[in-house]
Amino acid sequence: MDWQERIVIDPNILVGKPVVVGTRLAVEFIIDLLAQGWSESEILRNYPGLSQADIQACLAYASATLRAEKVYPVLSP
């Protein structure tokens, strides 16, 4: 899944949060719904502008973001 075709970051939309193209639905919002236990079919029923591919793109974006995250230890003086 190439999330870059379905997720956009625009400073003029939701203060630059990543959103599904053509919507004002943030990736964070979709991930939160899934984390709260919403099924894919519930999300699609309640947000008919979304597709299954959009939900998969949100998950792929979250995965790529976490994979790119780096943590550096803070050394004490």
Query: Under 8 Å CB-to-CB from 70, ≥6 apart: which residues?
Result: none
In percent, how much of the chain has pLDDT > 90?
82
pTM of the entire structure?
Answer: 0.87
Give the per-residue pLDDT at 1: 67
Residues paired with 19 in a beta bridge:
8, 26
Report d(CA 51, CA 67) in Å as an integer: 25
pLDDT of residue 58 exceeding 90: yes
Structurally, what CATH architecture does the domain formed by 3-66 represent? Orthogonal Bundle (1.10)
